[in-house]
Structure 1
Amino acid sequence: MLDLFAGCGGMTRGFLDEGRFMGIGAVEVDRAAAATYAANFDPDGRHTFAGDIAGYTDVPRVDVVIGGPPCQGFSALGKRDPADVRNQLWREFVRVVRESDARMFVFENVDRFAKTPEFQLLLQAASEEGELADFDTQVFRLNAADYGTPQKRIRTIVVGSRVGPVDAPRQTHARTSGEGLEQWVGLRQAFLEGPVVLDAQVRETWLPESVVDFQGHEVPGTFKLRDLHITRNHDLISEVRYAHIAPGQGRFDLPDDLQYPCWRRHTRGAGDVLGRLKWDEPAVTIRTEFFRPEKGRFLHPQWENGGDQVNRALTHAEAAVVQGFDERHLWCGTKAEIARQIGNAVPPPLARAIADVVARRLTSG
């Protein structure tokens, strides 16, 4: 397989965990993310192309091309500018699919992508007269929580195949258990009962001092998951605000004297801002600024009125676990760079479920 817009390697991790795939190439323009990918899957850095995909011309022959072009141009959180150059990167994805002679491709993006003009153009590319006319294209709307990820993260998945259609990935979890499905993985299970137990009390605010050489450049790293269990120094007024917010609550639940002045004027929208997560539910969608509670529902779920409270946002390590990464995964980059990698990643459990149906089709077709 070949991973385009590979990021930190979430999609590759899921495909390799499925057991029938071998990665022989990756493209990622962000150097720190490319270094993270290489640290995990390409220690010699020989098949990791760290640059603009437009310059990726030595395309290997593969069975499947996977990847998710940057979503910011489509995201509800962005400006949704039709002219955003990032909205056109799917065309490079199509080019590489053709040049690789792949039998299948997997294209991942935000839920909103299915409602964009670019999505319609992608479908046109797979029509009778398009560049991907020989691919049978299917579209799935998948929630990562339905596949064992402790996070409600809905994504549009486009699967193209020249060897016949694929089944929808087999759901393993649901909001409530029953009929052969397990209950969604909540944060209590993810943080306290899983293979990675993370102490709620955190004092470290910086990554260890370490650098690695990646293709002739020094990049901070490599860091283990527990090295990412770091917090920020919040000012007193912020901690007081956090202490007033119970699980499931947000900024609308603050007393008036603790509201930001701008919030007093805006009483609608952004209900998740300064929100606290719940122990026995999956997290909301992890974004690239999960370490800032003012950006969403990212406060740690531990809260007891007048008792044991954890008044901080998720750490980088907790956010990585919420995305479905485990202690095998290594990380490179600054705090901000690693946060972007985590927030932009494809959850490995979701990728593994997709890999299963792709492998079944490839081996039967």
Structure 2
Amino acid sequence: MRAVSLFAGAGGMDVGFSDAGVSIVWANELDLDAAQTYIKNNPDTMLRQGDIKRLKEELQQFDEGSIDLVFGGPPCQGFSVAGKMDPDDERSKLIWEYMDVVNILKPKIFVMENVKALGKLQRWQSVREKIVSRAHDMGYTCFYKVLNAADFGVPQKRERVFFIGFLDTDADVEKIFETEIIKLIKPRVTVRDCLRKLPPAGTEGNPITCTAKISLAANPVMRKSPYAGMLFNGMGRPLDISSQANTLPASMGGNKTPILDELLLEDPEAENWVVQYHTELAQANKKVSRIVPSHIRRITTVEAAAIQTFPPTYQFVGEKSSIYRQIGNAVPCNLAFAIAEAIISIYNEAYLTKARVYA
């Protein structure tokens, strides 16, 4: 399958689709550092850095029917519960730029990724309906699914919605997709499973990249779980390394960078400092005098990339804050691979088999 990648970022989604056998012939990304990262790791793809609004007319160079697939994730801040949830946010409107490209290229399939909120919240129902309706007007059978990356070999509970459209087909593609994607579910991987494969933090292969001070919150916000609430200053929350990480934010790099216990990473039987502190707070119902030990630290860019399932050889370009942002913005590679595998199965069944019959 020949594909065009939009809003490619550092290329997380592209890694998964490429690993599934998709040939990406043209890609677009606005952010300069992310574009340079993409070029460094995808030298055979034509990457056009800049605003898709100005570049989309270039895509008329492709003959009709020569592009099988368009995929990508338009910026999601306008729909995210972590943002202002503003439907008039200019970034929210980029989903329509994405659909314009689909209309220009008329690929057999498109896959558009976005935050879970766009696929679930009532306030965005009209937007969901508009996407499906516009796709239908262009000849696509379109549906959307919310998937959890943790179900596909990603040590992270990252939920995302995928709008998927198939051109000119009478097959029940939504039902087939559900059947295919279930086949690809894997046993869950823990953060410990993932990070123990890496060089130790502070070594050449995994340097310390975030030195933001970790201190206890003067007025901690308690939740039932010690890995929720606000036990530390800033927005960086501790990772439960025996489970999957919460969604890595694009705002990593400073005090929003997730925290882990190095001692617990090395020895699963060691005392869990975060859990113990949380227990003491709950029992005392007031402040507890403690000092954050040195084995409580921020995750590195190498660790963040591993949690997003980037290949260990993947190279990032830019300052540390930019690299953290590129990683946090990415679609986990293993999740993208599962999506690609499922749609390729449908492509083979709905298009290639049909073409052979008519031939």
TM norm structure 2: 0.77
Deviation, structure 1 residue 251: 7.8
Q: Which moved more, 1:102-111 or 1:52-61?
A: 52-61
Aligned to 1:249: 226
Which of 207, 226, 240 is the aligned partner of 1:278?
240
Which of 125, 138, 155 is the aligned partner of 2:143?
138
CA separation of 1:93/1:286 partners in 2, compared to 1, >3 Å: closer, same or farther?
A: same
Match for 2:72: what amino acid? G
CA separation of 1:138/1:250 partners in 2, compared to 1, >3 Å: closer, same or farther?
A: closer
- 1:149-164 correspondence runs (5 A): 149-162=154-167, 163=169, 164=171
Aligned to 1:51: 50
Which of 280, 283, 296 is the aligned partner of 1:311?
296
CA separation of 1:172/1:337 partners in 2, compared to 1, >3 Å: closer, same or farther?
A: farther
Question: In 2, Cα distance between the equivalents of 1:325 and 1:292?
Answer: 21
Matched residue count: 304
Aligned to 1:170: 181
Q: Which moved more, 1:75-84 or 1:114-123?
A: 114-123
User: Which secondary structure does the structure 2 equivalent of 1:85 belong to?
Assistant: coil
User: Which secondary structure does the structure 2 equivalent of 1:160 belong to?
Assistant: strand
Aligned to 2:288: none
- 2:252 counterpart of 1:290: yes
Match for 1:289: what amino acid? S
CA separation of 1:312/1:363 partners in 2, compared to 1, >3 Å: closer, same or farther?
A: same
- 1:75-224 correspondence runs (5 A): 75-114=80-119, 115=121, 116=124, 117-127=126-136, 130=137, 132=138, 134-162=139-167, 163=169, 164=171, 165=173, 166-168=176-178, 169-171=180-182, 182-192=186-196, 194=197, 197-200=198-201, 202=202
Percent of matched pairs sharing the same residue = 31
- 2:33 counterpart of 1:32: yes
Deviation, structure 1 residue 289: 2.4
Deviation sequence 1:219-260 (CA, Å, 0-9, x none): xxxxxxx46x3333344xx35679x99xx6258685xxxx86
Deviation sequence 1:151-180 (CA, Å, 0-9, x none): 00000011100144141253468xxxxxxx
Deviation sequence 1:261-312 (CA, Å, 0-9, x none): xx9xxxxxxxxx443212221111011123445x37x111434559986221
Aligned to 2:285: none
User: Which secondary structure does the structure 2 equivalent of 1:183 belong to?
Assistant: coil
Do 2:144 and 2:161's aligned partners in 1 also have CA atoms closer than 8 Å?
A: yes
Question: In 2, Cα distance between the equivalents of 1:118 and 1:11?
Answer: 23
Match for 1:62: what amino acid? I
Measured on the aligned residues, the alpha-carbon RMSD in Å equals 2.9
Which of 317, 327, 340 is the aligned partner of 2:325?
340
Question: In 1, Cα distance between the equivalents of 2:112 and 2:229?
Answer: 38
Do 1:203 and 1:231's aligned partners in 2 also have CA atoms closer than 8 Å?
A: no
Match for 1:187: what amino acid? V
Question: In 1, Cα distance between the equivalents of 2:70 and 2:230?
Answer: 46
Aligned to 2:259: 299
Deviation sequence 1:9-46 (CA, Å, 0-9, x none): 11110011112x10101010111111111111126xx7
- In terms of fraction of residues, the more helix-rich structure is 2
CA separation of 1:13/1:306 partners in 2, compared to 1, >3 Å: closer, same or farther?
A: closer
Deviation, structure 1 residue 69: 0.2
Deviation, structure 1 residue 6: 0.4
Question: In 1, Cα distance between the equivalents of 2:97 and 2:305?
Answer: 29
Aligned to 2:277: none
CA separation of 1:84/1:183 partners in 2, compared to 1, >3 Å: closer, same or farther?
A: same
Question: In 2, Cα distance between the equivalents of 1:182 and 1:29?
Answer: 34
Do 1:146 and 1:171's aligned partners in 2 also have CA atoms closer than 8 Å?
A: no
User: Which secondary structure does the structure 2 equivalent of 1:27 belong to?
Assistant: strand
Aligned to 1:268: none
Structure 1 unaligned residues grouped into runs of 5+: 174-180, 205-225, 264-272
Deviation, structure 1 residue 328: 2.6
- 2:234 counterpart of 1:233: no
CA separation of 1:76/1:358 partners in 2, compared to 1, >3 Å: closer, same or farther?
A: same
Question: In 2, Cα distance between the equivalents of 1:28 and 1:118?
Answer: 24
Deviation, structure 1 residue 148: 0.3
Match for 1:27: what amino acid? N
Match for 1:280: what amino acid? S
TM norm structure 1: 0.75
Match for 1:52: what amino acid? D
Runs of 4+ in 1 over 4 A off after TM superposition: 239-242, 250-254, 303-309
Do 1:32 and 1:337's aligned partners in 2 also have CA atoms closer than 8 Å?
A: yes
